[in-house]
Amino acid sequence: MAILIGDIAPDFTADSSEGPIHFYDYIDGAWAVLFSHPKNYTPVCTTELGYTAKLKPEFDKRGVKVLGLSVDKLEDHAGWASDIAETQGAALNFPLLADTNGDVARAYDMIHPNADNTLTVRSVFVIGPDKKVKLKIEYPASTGRNFDEVLRVIDSLQLTAKHQVATPVNWKDGEDVIIVPAVSNEAAKEKFPEGWKELKPYLRIVPQPRG
Protein backbone atom coordinates (compact mmCIF):
# COMPACT_ATOMS: atom_id res chain seq x y z
CA MET A 1 0.00 0.00 0.00
CA ALA A 2 1.36 3.41 -0.99
CA ILE A 3 2.26 6.01 1.62
CA LEU A 4 -0.05 8.98 1.09
CA ILE A 5 -0.19 12.54 2.40
CA GLY A 6 -1.87 12.44 5.80
CA ASP A 7 -0.70 8.89 6.59
CA ILE A 8 1.37 8.17 9.68
CA ALA A 9 5.01 7.84 8.60
CA PRO A 10 6.29 4.31 9.31
CA ASP A 11 8.69 3.97 12.23
CA PHE A 12 12.00 2.16 11.74
CA THR A 13 15.39 1.47 13.26
CA ALA A 14 18.45 1.58 10.99
CA ASP A 15 22.20 2.09 11.07
CA SER A 16 23.45 5.43 9.84
CA SER A 17 26.64 7.42 9.34
CA GLU A 18 25.97 8.88 12.81
CA GLY A 19 25.09 5.63 14.58
CA PRO A 20 21.85 3.64 14.99
CA ILE A 21 18.68 5.68 14.56
CA HIS A 22 15.21 4.91 15.86
CA PHE A 23 13.19 7.23 13.65
CA TYR A 24 10.44 8.27 16.08
CA ASP A 25 12.97 8.91 18.84
CA TYR A 26 15.19 10.83 16.43
CA ILE A 27 12.52 13.25 15.24
CA ASP A 28 10.93 13.51 18.74
CA GLY A 29 8.15 15.97 17.93
CA ALA A 30 10.12 17.89 15.28
CA TRP A 31 9.58 18.31 11.56
CA ALA A 32 11.65 15.91 9.44
CA VAL A 33 12.79 15.38 5.85
CA LEU A 34 13.55 11.82 4.73
CA PHE A 35 14.97 11.45 1.23
CA SER A 36 16.31 8.44 -0.64
CA HIS A 37 19.27 7.89 -2.97
CA PRO A 38 19.44 5.12 -5.56
CA LYS A 39 22.94 4.10 -4.41
CA ASN A 40 26.29 5.42 -3.20
CA TYR A 41 28.91 6.90 -5.52
CA THR A 42 26.41 8.15 -8.07
CA PRO A 43 26.96 11.62 -9.54
CA VAL A 44 23.52 13.14 -9.04
CA CYS A 45 23.29 11.92 -5.43
CA THR A 46 26.70 13.40 -4.70
CA THR A 47 25.51 16.86 -5.76
CA GLU A 48 22.26 16.51 -3.82
CA LEU A 49 23.91 15.52 -0.55
CA GLY A 50 26.46 18.32 -0.85
CA TYR A 51 23.77 20.92 -1.45
CA THR A 52 21.61 19.62 1.39
CA ALA A 53 24.64 19.88 3.70
CA LYS A 54 24.98 23.53 2.66
CA LEU A 55 21.29 24.05 3.47
CA LYS A 56 21.56 22.45 6.92
CA PRO A 57 21.45 25.85 8.73
CA GLU A 58 18.20 26.63 6.89
CA PHE A 59 16.65 23.33 7.97
CA ASP A 60 17.88 23.90 11.53
CA LYS A 61 16.30 27.38 11.56
CA ARG A 62 12.95 25.79 10.74
CA GLY A 63 13.36 23.03 13.33
CA VAL A 64 13.64 20.34 10.67
CA LYS A 65 15.71 17.17 11.08
CA VAL A 66 17.17 15.79 7.85
CA LEU A 67 17.82 12.13 7.05
CA GLY A 68 19.25 10.70 3.84
CA LEU A 69 18.87 7.06 2.85
CA SER A 70 20.95 4.77 0.64
CA VAL A 71 20.51 1.06 0.05
CA ASP A 72 24.30 0.56 0.19
CA LYS A 73 26.32 -0.65 3.17
CA LEU A 74 27.30 1.56 6.08
CA GLU A 75 31.02 0.95 5.52
CA ASP A 76 30.67 2.50 2.05
CA HIS A 77 29.27 5.77 3.41
CA ALA A 78 32.55 7.16 4.80
CA GLY A 79 34.37 7.06 1.47
CA TRP A 80 31.41 8.59 -0.31
CA ALA A 81 31.15 11.32 2.34
CA SER A 82 34.79 12.17 1.64
CA ASP A 83 34.02 12.49 -2.08
CA ILE A 84 31.03 14.73 -1.31
CA ALA A 85 33.15 17.08 0.80
CA GLU A 86 35.89 17.17 -1.84
CA THR A 87 33.69 17.79 -4.88
CA GLN A 88 30.82 19.82 -3.39
CA GLY A 89 32.64 21.95 -0.83
CA ALA A 90 30.42 20.81 2.03
CA ALA A 91 30.88 17.89 4.41
CA LEU A 92 27.99 15.58 5.22
CA ASN A 93 26.40 17.01 8.39
CA PHE A 94 23.27 14.90 8.81
CA PRO A 95 22.73 11.12 9.11
CA LEU A 96 22.84 8.95 6.01
CA LEU A 97 20.93 5.73 6.63
CA ALA A 98 22.29 2.39 5.43
CA ASP A 99 19.15 0.56 4.33
CA THR A 100 20.99 -2.50 3.04
CA ASN A 101 18.01 -4.85 3.34
CA GLY A 102 15.67 -2.31 1.80
CA ASP A 103 13.31 -2.43 4.80
CA VAL A 104 12.87 1.35 5.04
CA ALA A 105 12.67 1.73 1.25
CA ARG A 106 9.86 -0.83 1.10
CA ALA A 107 8.01 0.66 4.07
CA TYR A 108 8.00 4.03 2.29
CA ASP A 109 7.42 2.64 -1.23
CA MET A 110 10.69 4.09 -2.47
CA ILE A 111 11.33 1.18 -4.84
CA HIS A 112 9.34 1.28 -8.07
CA PRO A 113 9.75 -2.10 -9.79
CA ASN A 114 9.01 -0.76 -13.27
CA ALA A 115 11.93 1.66 -12.88
CA ASP A 116 14.31 -0.68 -11.01
CA ASN A 117 13.74 -3.74 -8.83
CA THR A 118 16.35 -2.85 -6.20
CA LEU A 119 17.31 0.84 -6.40
CA THR A 120 15.13 3.56 -4.94
CA VAL A 121 13.69 6.42 -6.92
CA ARG A 122 14.43 9.93 -5.60
CA SER A 123 11.72 10.10 -2.94
CA VAL A 124 11.30 13.04 -0.56
CA PHE A 125 9.02 12.94 2.47
CA VAL A 126 8.31 15.87 4.76
CA ILE A 127 6.94 14.62 8.06
CA GLY A 128 5.27 16.82 10.66
CA PRO A 129 5.61 16.79 14.44
CA ASP A 130 2.46 14.63 14.54
CA LYS A 131 4.42 11.98 12.56
CA LYS A 132 2.09 12.40 9.56
CA VAL A 133 3.34 12.73 5.98
CA LYS A 134 2.85 16.34 4.86
CA LEU A 135 4.64 16.20 1.49
CA LYS A 136 5.67 13.44 -0.89
CA ILE A 137 7.70 14.09 -4.03
CA GLU A 138 9.16 11.46 -6.35
CA TYR A 139 11.74 12.06 -9.06
CA PRO A 140 13.29 9.61 -11.52
CA ALA A 141 16.81 8.45 -10.66
CA SER A 142 18.30 10.61 -13.42
CA THR A 143 16.89 13.95 -12.20
CA GLY A 144 18.36 15.88 -9.28
CA ARG A 145 15.90 17.30 -6.80
CA ASN A 146 15.20 20.95 -6.02
CA PHE A 147 15.86 21.30 -2.28
CA ASP A 148 15.07 25.01 -2.38
CA GLU A 149 11.55 23.88 -3.28
CA VAL A 150 11.50 21.52 -0.29
CA LEU A 151 12.34 24.47 1.98
CA ARG A 152 9.64 26.58 0.31
CA VAL A 153 7.03 23.90 0.95
CA ILE A 154 8.14 23.54 4.58
CA ASP A 155 7.70 27.30 5.03
CA SER A 156 4.18 26.98 3.61
CA LEU A 157 3.32 23.95 5.74
CA GLN A 158 4.53 25.61 8.92
CA LEU A 159 2.55 28.76 8.16
CA THR A 160 -0.60 26.70 7.60
CA ALA A 161 -0.08 24.79 10.84
CA LYS A 162 0.38 27.98 12.87
CA HIS A 163 -1.79 30.63 11.20
CA GLN A 164 -4.47 28.82 9.15
CA VAL A 165 -3.34 30.30 5.86
CA ALA A 166 -2.54 28.74 2.50
CA THR A 167 0.03 29.89 -0.03
CA PRO A 168 -0.75 30.78 -3.67
CA VAL A 169 0.97 29.69 -6.84
CA ASN A 170 4.75 30.24 -6.89
CA TRP A 171 4.61 31.78 -3.40
CA LYS A 172 7.86 32.70 -1.69
CA ASP A 173 8.53 33.55 1.95
CA GLY A 174 7.41 37.12 2.67
CA GLU A 175 4.71 37.30 0.00
CA ASP A 176 0.95 37.54 0.57
CA VAL A 177 -0.98 34.45 1.58
CA ILE A 178 -4.59 33.23 1.51
CA ILE A 179 -6.91 32.82 4.50
CA VAL A 180 -8.14 29.21 4.39
CA PRO A 181 -11.88 28.77 3.70
CA ALA A 182 -12.36 26.99 7.04
CA VAL A 183 -11.78 30.34 8.81
CA SER A 184 -14.99 32.40 8.86
CA ASN A 185 -14.92 36.16 8.36
CA GLU A 186 -15.73 36.58 12.05
CA ALA A 187 -12.78 34.42 13.08
CA ALA A 188 -10.58 36.09 10.45
CA LYS A 189 -11.24 39.50 12.08
CA GLU A 190 -9.75 38.12 15.30
CA LYS A 191 -6.76 36.53 13.57
CA PHE A 192 -6.11 39.32 11.05
CA PRO A 193 -7.23 42.60 12.68
CA GLU A 194 -5.49 44.65 9.96
CA GLY A 195 -7.99 43.24 7.47
CA TRP A 196 -7.59 41.49 4.12
CA LYS A 197 -8.30 41.94 0.41
CA GLU A 198 -11.32 39.91 -0.70
CA LEU A 199 -11.14 38.98 -4.39
CA LYS A 200 -13.97 36.47 -3.94
CA PRO A 201 -15.66 35.24 -0.75
CA TYR A 202 -13.43 32.16 -0.94
CA LEU A 203 -10.29 34.08 -1.97
CA ARG A 204 -9.11 36.40 0.83
CA ILE A 205 -5.58 37.76 0.52
CA VAL A 206 -3.60 38.87 3.57
CA PRO A 207 0.03 39.78 4.26
CA GLN A 208 2.06 36.84 5.51
CA PRO A 209 1.75 36.63 9.31
CA ARG A 210 4.95 36.60 11.31
CA GLY A 211 5.85 34.91 14.55
> In CATH, what number is assigned to the domain containing residue 176?
3.30.1020.10
Provide mean pLDDT across the span 184-206: 96
Instruction: Assign 3-class secondary structure to the chain.
Output: CCCCCCCECCCCEECECCCCEEHHHHHCCCEEEEEEECCCCCHHHHHHHHHHHHHHHHHHHCCEEEEEEECCCHHHHHHHHHHHHHHHCCCCCCCEEECCCCHHHHHCCCCCCCCCCCCCCEEEEEECCCCEEEEEEEECCCCCCCHHHHHHHHHHHHHHHHHCEECCCCCCCCCCEEECCCCCHHHHHHHCCCCCEEEECCEEEECCCCC
Mean pLDDT of the chain: 90
In this predicted structure, the answer to whether residue 125 has a pLDDT above a threshold of 80 is yes
Domain boundary (118, 145, 172) is at 145
Query: Is residue 35 domain-shared with residue 91, that is, in the same domain?
Result: yes
Query: Is residue 77 domain-shared with residue 128, that is, in the same domain?
Result: yes
**CATH, residue 28:** 3.40.30.10
| Alpha carbon distance 123, 145 (integer Å) | 9
Query: Is residue 86 domain-shared with residue 188, that is, in the same domain?
Result: no
Number of domains in the chain: 2
Q: Is residue 5 part of a domain?
A: no
Q: What is the pTM of this model?
A: 0.91
Percentage of the chain modeled with pLDDT above 70: 93
Residues catalogued as catalytic: 45
In this predicted structure, the answer to whether residue 115 has a pLDDT above a threshold of 70 is no
Q: Is residue 158 part of a domain?
A: no
* pLDDT tens digits, 19-77: 999 999 999 999 999 998 766 678 888 999 999 999 999 999 999 999 999 887 777 77
In this predicted structure, the answer to whether residue 182 has a pLDDT above a threshold of 70 is yes
